[in-house]
Structure 1
Amino acid sequence: MIYELMIPQYMLLEKKQKILQQYHEIDVKTENPELIQIYVEMILSDDIVKQHFGILAIRKLISANQNQQEIIQAILDFNMIPILIQILEQYSNQLFIYEAIWILANIASGTNLQTQVIVKNGVIPNLLKHLDSENLFIVEQVFWALGNIAADDAEFRNDIIQQGGLNQLIVISEKLIQENKIHLLKLSSWTIGNLSRGILNQQKIKKCKRQIINYFTYIIDKFDEDDTLTDTCWALVYISNPNSGLDSIQEIINTGIVPRLVNLLKRNQTNSITQGCLKIIRNLLTGSESQLDYILNQDILIIFGDLLSKLQLKSLIFEVCQCITNITAGNHNQLKKVIDNDIIMNLLLSIFIITTPEIQIQIACVYSNMLRKIKQYDILRLVDKGVLMIFGQTLRLQRTSDLQKIEILKQLDCIFKNASFEQDYIKILIMDFFKILDNLDVQINDGEEDENYINCESIYFEEWKNFIKN
């Protein structure tokens, strides 16, 4: 029994037995939240058995009660936080430390204001002090507490990092790998992942980013549980951000984890894992030409085609389209692989017709990228794949930015001025485009365009109409 192992050896046997019996006596279903004040008074008594009863009763209440935030607020209102911090600062009793950290971990899962209270009372340095505990049950509770504190507040994350918490966690995690402590390995990856959130924190963790990448990729490679893969894949998303200083893209590639990510996409295990893997791949696809080639050589386009044909969740379809957009932002040989993939090109067109404006705009980005670097003989292929309809409808979407609309106009102008097309064919294309717009103006024009864009559009439209007349 873990509790028995944490009771101080010097304690009288009778008191030990009474304390251990409390774990059976105290039933959260029968404990009354209105008695929290009495429990706090018991903790402040001189009787260690009463002290333990009070702290255990509160821990069980806060851990299992459906109205957790109300329990947390009652604990704060009775000024219990300084008492818990004092236990962490001064007590050598591991059982009390364990229960106190457990309570603090639950408080840290409350509202931001509730978490602020424990942070302002000095919880972070006291938690970090117990990261070095030889008792792994205490270390586990510290992981939970730090992870909860870091979860939703950049300032709290910064406090933990500046006080050396991230470095401590990395050292401990490397030790856990050596000792094969599987449960704690998974939990520590979640805690470190929470600390890695947000672009603002990327510069602060720059010095240890390589170690973090190696740790996350180790977890992804070794474990198959959905929760673990979800947490760690999303943690690697934050780290793989290309604007984070260190060449995270190459560091991730160097770990050899990319084939594993591709395999997870093949399995389409859960939506959250798939989305995490797609976001990592999307970030990797913003790298250099050689890095992009490496990803393409993993047969990633085959995977994208398969996903586009099967996925129902719009957010996942959007992620795949973003990945394809990044590929088409590469060199000619790279975007040519997309153009030559009939499965993907046909799916993009069929998805565009029935999907949301956000995905439509992203698909238009794919086509726009292609036209920037495409050879003349491939332009006709894009016309056959619906580029006029895609561009026309995207121009009439209110959510399309003015910059993207102007870029679309430029690409349309390139199509209509293609030297390899006969003039009569170009006139047909222009007339087809205006027919598309005439229909779309009635169907989906959902707002007024910016005046600058209207002026730009007028110039292009007038030029194209004059070409038809001549």
Structure 2
Amino acid sequence: MSSNFKKKLEKRKGLFKKKNSEDSSRSKRNKVNISISKKKRESRLMKRRNIQSTEEIPEIQDFNNIIKGTKSKNMDQIVECVQQIRILLSQNSEPPIDLVLKSGVIPTFVEMLSQKENSFLTFETAWIFSNICSGTHAQTKSVVDHGVIPIFIELLDSKDLPIVEQSIWGLGNISGDCDEYRLLILDNKIVIPKLISVFNRYPITLEIIKLAVWTLSGLFKNSPPLAPKLCQLVFPIFSTYLQDPKEELLVDSCWGMSYICHDPVNIEQLISGDCIPRLIQLLEKDDDEIIISSIRILSSVMGGTNKQTEHVLQAGILKPLKKLMQSTHIRIVKEACFALSNITAGTEDQIQLIIDEELIPEIIDLLSNKNPKISREACWIMCNAINGGNTEQIEIFIKAKIIEKLCVFLLSDEILVVKIVLEAYHKMLNVGVEISIQREEEENIVAEKMDELDISSLIEKISRSKKDKISKIAQTIQNHFFYFDDDDDDQDYYQDYDQDYDQDYDQDYDQESISD
């Protein structure tokens, strides 16, 4: 090998910049997860309390007379008519919510909900309102606009447990309608303490526990995140019911815990409370919601420090994840891949555990998955592993045909995806330099393969893109590995890149086009 060529190889090797610091790849990857996890869990948002088996459904043609009866001066008649409306709204199919709203009876029901003389009447009207709020946004709005939220919150202090139960139900349905109403409920600073106090009452039924856990879980989802003090208040509730064998309690406890575990304080509490083994155990459940919500929590933990990631790894998460990657459920595979991407964003030793578990071939196969959500997550796993791995590890990836598999992601419309793939190619090219030096060969095996596959042409095209954040990286790759130019400005590029990378991350995540 000529001395001139060797000097150039050494120069390029010296330019290598390791990207996978504890504060970069994993923490930034976790920001993407927070964005993704804002989507609604449609199947568990709204609940209608159905008719009791012994009750007879009134004839709808009697509706007008029933409405008139609610305004009678005879209390027994009022109670009977209110109960009949509640029964109509508790039907499994097509409850006449709009008919009730158009009747103009809502203000009357609000007065009944507020009165304290007849607890049965309060209970029935609370049931009516919670069932209306299991309907559309417009139907829920008609109730909220009449001031039902503060009344429900006040009723949480009732000594009548059925009224407490129905008030929790109503608040859960309202908060599940939209973020605006969720935050409107939380504007009342006492609502969380009042809900938590329900767990300390005696006697308390399993149904109330289920509703309270479900409602608390719903109040903590989406953005903006709630104050750390509130998260600390509900942490023991979710932590307790993570241990419960009842699946409905498990699902909502897991989702609730996943919402509050974006806070590092709660992650540490989760670890010290020995919840990690239980969460890994839950990955073996047959319930998809339990599996997905458990992975979300574990991913949040592994989105923290390397030490936190190590705690989850030592608890034995890799074998369950390997099994879940073979699931036919798209969401489960995607979440499993996300968890793995947080692991490969860690240390070389943590990346090695993925290799030792023989997960790399399966992950590389997922790069070609027809579902873009899965292939994209697999791309993150491998790019994190490449950018944080050592030479020996990257050689394993190259032998597994990672060079060939990654190139399709250079055509992605997501700037951030293109960026991490370019960084991965840059790292592999530098490893190619190391291999050339070690073997005293003039050819860079990575550059050769990229030329053979015409990946260099794709990179050259990206280098001419108007998107500076990716064109700079592509230009550097092009200049240093596909033609020689001794007057390059590598060091200036990396100084600029260091300053810009962090602040531009969130802007880049918007799915903007990379076409010229």
Q: What TM-score do the two structures reach when normalised by structure 1?
A: 0.83
Q: Distance in 2 between matches of 1:279 and 1:450?
A: 36
Q: Distance in 1 between matches of 2:209 and 2:147?
A: 26
Q: Which residue of 1 aligns with 2:385?
A: 370
Q: Distance in 1 between matches of 2:482 and 2:225?
A: 53
In the TM superposition, residue 430 of structure 1 has moved relative to its aligned partner by: 2.3
Q: Distance in 2 between matches of 1:180 and 1:221?
A: 19
Check the 8 A contact 1:285/1:327 in 2, yes or no: yes
Q: 1:434 aligns with which of 442, 451, 458?
A: 451
Q: Which residue of 2 aligns with 1:276?
A: 293
- For 2:397, the aligned partner's letter is L
Check the 8 A contact 1:286/1:292 in 2, yes or no: yes
Check the 8 A contact 1:393/1:440 in 2, yes or no: no
Q: Distance in 2 between matches of 1:302 and 1:223?
A: 22
Q: Which residue of 1 aligns with 2:133?
A: 108
Check the 8 A contact 1:360/1:394 in 2, yes or no: no
Q: Distance in 2 between matches of 1:235 and 1:213?
A: 9
Q: Name the structure with the higher helix share.
A: 1
In the TM superposition, residue 315 of structure 1 has moved relative to its aligned partner by: 1.8
C-alpha change, 1:255 and 1:37, in structure 2 (3 Å) is farther
1:390 aligns with 2:418: no
For structure 1, the 5+ residue unaligned runs are 1-22
Check the 8 A contact 1:220/1:229 in 2, yes or no: yes
For these two proteins, the number of residue pairs brought into alignment is 425
Q: 2:308 aligns with which of 291, 307, 312?
A: 291
In the TM superposition, residue 219 of structure 1 has moved relative to its aligned partner by: 1.1
Check the 8 A contact 1:398/1:449 in 2, yes or no: no
Check the 8 A contact 2:428/2:446 in 1, yes or no: no
Q: Distance in 1 between matches of 2:119 and 2:294?
A: 40
Check the 8 A contact 1:322/1:362 in 2, yes or no: yes
**How does 1:69-108 map onto structure 2 within 5 Å?**
71-108=96-133
Q: 2:174 aligns with which of 115, 129, 149?
A: 149
Check the 8 A contact 1:63/1:106 in 2, yes or no: yes
In the TM superposition, residue 319 of structure 1 has moved relative to its aligned partner by: 0.8
- For 2:409, the aligned partner's letter is T
C-alpha change, 1:53 and 1:323, in structure 2 (3 Å) is same
**How does 1:1-400 map onto structure 2 within 5 Å?**
27-28=56-57, 30-32=58-60, 34-64=61-91, 66-68=93-95, 71-163=96-188, 164-175=190-201, 179=203, 181-203=205-227, 206-225=228-247, 227-242=248-263, 247-265=265-283, 267-308=284-325, 310-342=326-358, 344-399=359-414
- For 1:222, the aligned partner's letter is D
Check the 8 A contact 1:31/1:57 in 2, yes or no: no
In the TM superposition, residue 421 of structure 1 has moved relative to its aligned partner by: 4.7
Give % identity: 22
| 1:215-273 residue CA offsets vs partner (Å, 9 max, x unmatched) | 01211202332x3322221121111124xxx61211222222211110110x2322111
For structure 2, the 5+ residue unaligned runs are 1-51, 485-516
Q: 2:422 aligns with which of 368, 382, 406?
A: 406
| 1:337-366 residue CA offsets vs partner (Å, 9 max, x unmatched) | 223322x11211222233423322322222
Structure 1 residue ranges, 4+ long, deviating more than 6 angstroms after superposition: 23-26, 438-441
Q: Distance in 2 between matches of 1:276 and 1:79?
A: 42
Check the 8 A contact 1:240/1:284 in 2, yes or no: yes
Q: Distance in 2 between matches of 1:64 and 1:357?
A: 41
In the TM superposition, residue 378 of structure 1 has moved relative to its aligned partner by: 2.3
| 1:377-428 residue CA offsets vs partner (Å, 9 max, x unmatched) | 3221121222212322222334463433432343233233225553648544
- For 1:300, the aligned partner's letter is I
In the TM superposition, residue 107 of structure 1 has moved relative to its aligned partner by: 1.0
C-alpha change, 1:72 and 1:186, in structure 2 (3 Å) is same
- For 2:338, the aligned partner's letter is Q
Check the 8 A contact 1:72/1:114 in 2, yes or no: yes
| 1:56-95 residue CA offsets vs partner (Å, 9 max, x unmatched) | 1110111105223xx2222222222211111122241111
In the TM superposition, residue 140 of structure 1 has moved relative to its aligned partner by: 1.3
Q: Distance in 2 between matches of 1:450 and 1:358?
A: 26
In the TM superposition, residue 277 of structure 1 has moved relative to its aligned partner by: 0.8
Q: Distance in 1 between matches of 2:53 and 2:357?
A: 65
Check the 8 A contact 2:114/2:122 in 1, yes or no: no
Q: How large is the RMSD of aligned CA atoms in angstroms?
A: 2.7
Q: Distance in 2 between matches of 1:172 and 1:154?
A: 24
Q: Which residue of 1 aligns with 2:489?
A: none
- For 1:336, the aligned partner's letter is Q
Check the 8 A contact 1:361/1:400 in 2, yes or no: no
